[in-house]
Structure 1
């Protein structure tokens, strides 16, 4: 197998069920180390991300650019690679396609949270944003939940219809809607995966809702209105994908919430926090963490070794 894998080959090595199991394993592994990621602003509004992580056996670095101006164009907003090294020998084992890893591991993280926290896992699912993360979340939720129907909202009608067609090809009931807020009454599963330039949800969700917000991953980005975030905090609960989100989650920071005590997926997997703190909607806020890329690298190596 070639060391340098394109998007198709990378996706083939990252099946959702195995990826979710490796996510759990990373959170239980005391040897895992994740140094702070470097985010360097670039001229023109983009950012360079350098994200290392390691365990006893492998060390990885994700090196990607995030270019918001590419949204809606033929060029992806996220570009780059994940390089995987053997700790004992220093050998480079794999170079994975960075956007594919980012999309699939982010969706798998949301699925892991939904499997533990969603009161109504059969949906319907509302997806706000029909880019790469919209496709990845559709596929992950369909693979890991008893999903039957999906509703899609996007600024791009063509992207929304393409995602709906993909959902129908998977055997799901799918429709495109004009307004995201109007769909909240029907949909107890919600994923927001937009470029996070502005608020896309303002209304209160259902009391049995699970919401995964993944588009905003810097303090200045936002998808959810402050009053919506505060409502979840007061009545249901808010979970973070990792502790780093405490200083990165723009939706929550702009809502004026105290993030210091919010539980993370590690608390959930290790059983150190109750799965549901209240009877209202649950908000899962994901900002990304190199530990998730380490889990993806483990998954890919395992699959490659079997091939």
Structure 2
């Protein structure tokens, strides 16, 4: 393995969504993977600094990124930083990946894997609430990995929504902007919420055959979905979290007063563990997948990169 510093475009090309989703599934069943709790340092002004290490038998990574919600108003990215990849045996740095690109693609790939495993329906239309970087990456991932052909986009910024609709059209998809996401829930069996999660946005109940990937809220203080909706989903549907870190980070569910520690994780679903087999899963009912983020997803991206480089010789 030789040292490589990848630009955002190079990082994206090295991480195809479907291949990354498969690598995530493989990582979840790898007993050598070690991911300590991430460090979240609060910054003055409302931002956060994240330090996220992870390792397996071959590769070690450290992700160092900042999250500044107010940057959207400054015309700057809300997430900035890098991921450093090391060879475990020699300790040499083998790659430096663009942090925002990895974050966008691995988060969408996690949602894609969850949808592949859990979505009652895959035909769409797909509703995306929040038309930023994550909205775009989820649009691309669900098109490539699930074959979604129609997407509806809702955003507090009409310009952002229209831009994402235009991107969908450029991919050959049917797409339109919707101004009332809560009303649109009744028509969309696939839903992804990627808002800034500073306040409740979604107050209507998803369809009984819906799959929801709730991505925007990744700290206990953040929230996108109302407490009433989350409580309804807990009674009538299936709730799954990305990892056990969600036990103390899943703002939507924690603010609804739910015991997140009792919910199955994506690793339980992929591994078909006893926890998943015993989970309450009605024959008919929505699936709500809560994604909070984990350093293991970035490790999966590093593994995917090395696999791609090996295949390319």
Report if TM-score (shorter chain) is over 0.5. yes
Q: Provide Cα deviations, 1:273-305, integer angstroms capped at 9, x if missing partner.
A: 148701211100000000100000001112223
Q: Provide Cα deviations, 1:221-246, integer angstroms capped at 9, x if missing partner.
A: 00000011111111111000000001
Among 265, 286, 290, the alignment partner of 1:281 is 286
Bigger shift: 165-174 or 289-298?
A: 165-174
- Runs in 1 of length 4+ with deviation above 3 angstroms? none
Q: Secondary structure at 1:208's aligned position in 2? A: coil
Structure 1 gaps, min length 5: none
State the shift of 1:74 in Å: 2.4
Bigger shift: 163-172 or 221-230?
A: 163-172
Aligned length: 307
Distance 1:83 1:191 in 2: 29
Q: Secondary structure at 1:163's aligned position in 2? A: helix
Q: Secondary structure at 1:303's aligned position in 2? A: helix
Distance 1:219 1:20 in 2: 26
Partner of 2:9: 8
Structure 2 gaps, min length 5: none
Distance 2:280 2:128 in 1: 23
Is 1:39 matched with 2:40? yes
Partner of 2:162: 161
Partner of 2:311: 306
CA contact (8 A) 1:117 1:276 kept: no
CA contact (8 A) 2:151 2:175 kept: yes
Partner of 1:181: 182
Distance 1:71 1:263 in 2: 34
Q: Secondary structure at 1:185's aligned position in 2? A: helix
CA contact (8 A) 1:71 1:195 kept: no
Q: Secondary structure at 1:23's aligned position in 2? A: helix
Distance 1:164 1:171 in 2: 11
Alignment RMSD: 1.2
CA contact (8 A) 1:128 1:192 kept: yes
Distance 1:17 1:220 in 2: 32
Q: Provide Cα deviations, 1:209-268, integer angstroms capped at 9, x if missing partner.
A: 010000000000000000111111111110000000010000000000011110000000
Q: Secondary structure at 2:213's aligned position in 1? A: strand
Distance 1:212 1:268 in 2: 15
CA contact (8 A) 2:41 2:50 kept: yes
CA contact (8 A) 2:42 2:49 kept: yes
